[in-house]
Amino acid sequence: MSETSAISLEKVTAAAPDLVERYESARVSLNKRRLLGERAAVYLVLDRSGSMRPFYEDGTVQHLAEQALGLAAHFDDDGVVPTVFFSTDVHTTADVTLGAHRGRIAAIHDTLGHMGRTYYAKAMRAVIAHYRASGATAPAFVLFQTDGAPKDKGETGRLLAESAGLPIFWQFVGFGDDEFAFLRRLDDLPGRLVDNAGFFPAGGKPAALPDAELYDALMAEFPTWLTAARGAGIL
């Protein structure tokens, strides 16, 4: 494995100079965990339930999308983060692209209409279907954002366990002041082939969280999963 990023600093600077600091911050976090040179398809899953409205209106969700792009530039050379918007159902899957990212979340969000309730499993199935259809050979790193527990807890747990045999890692990120008891249990769900999920609470003001702190949290369990997945023949 060569210790090189999928997209060079020069290309990021040319396409998205506003993301250079995030890109460099992600590099530091990846380097600490010996992940530079790894390849992965980065996905972003965004909760669009009604309680998420303030996070869309104040730019917090856009901020997270830009952080996802800063990370993805090291893992995937296409500069694209497929993004799933969900609530009661999956609203859409749209690309957020390096250099065409500014205002992208609001532009998509504003076309989607009613903000519903929280159901994780449909969004997870959309990621799995997209990943399988893509023909990717590298694993998927899924940044799954939410501000509370889903209505489909049982189905979500079963699907997480079922997907443990797939080359997909689910990194859940909590927005807001919820205790996230369900996500903490999901993180430690027993009976899986490998531990294919992590959880990180980003607090009530996620956009105030330094990039370095977020990236360190996102990468806390991913290296362990890579090792376990290779040992199990998943990768």
- Residue 71, domain CATH: 3.40.50.410
Q: Evaluate whether 47 touches 87 at the Cβ level (below 8 Å).
A: yes
Nearest 10 degrees: Cα torsion 116, 121, 122, 123: 80
Angle at 162 between CA 36 and CA 74, to 5 degrees: 15
Q: Evaluate whether 155 touches 184 at the Cβ level (below 8 Å).
A: no
Distance, in Å, from the CA atom of 131 to the CA atom of 140, rounded to the nearest integer, reads: 7
The range of the structural domain enclosing residue 29 comes to: 9-222
86 is a domain residue: yes
Nearest 10 degrees: Cα torsion 165, 146, 6, 235: -10
3-state helix, strand, coil in the chain (%, to 5): 45, 20, 35
pLDDT at site 203? 96
What's the half-sphere exposure (Cβ side, CA atoms, 13 Å) at 116? 15
Number of domains making up the chain: 1
This model's pTM is above 0.95: yes
Q: Evaluate whether 218 touches 35 at the Cβ level (below 8 Å).
A: no
Distance, in Å, from the CA atom of 48 to the CA atom of 70, rounded to the nearest integer, reads: 22
Phi then psi dihedrals of residue 35, to 5 deg: -105, -5
Q: What residues form DSSP beta bridges with 146?
A: 174
Q: Which two tokens stand for residue 12?
A: 């990021």
235 is a domain residue: no
Distance, in Å, from the CA atom of 42 to the CA atom of 31, rounded to the nearest integer, reads: 18
4 is a domain residue: no
pLDDT at site 208? 97
Q: Which residues contact 137 (CB under 8 A, 6 or more apart)?
A: none
pLDDT at site 2? 57
**H or E segment and range at residue 202:** strand 197-203
The rounded average pLDDT for each run of 10 residues, N- to C-terminus, in the chain (235 residues) is 86 97 97 96 98 98 98 97 98 97 97 96 98 95 97 98 98 97 96 97 97 97 98 97
Q: Which amino acid is at 111?
A: T
pLDDT at site 3? 74
**H or E segment and range at residue 83:** strand 80-86
In the block, which residue shows the tokens 């380097």?
31
pLDDT at site 33? 96
198 is a domain residue: yes
Enter the DSSP assignment of 208: G
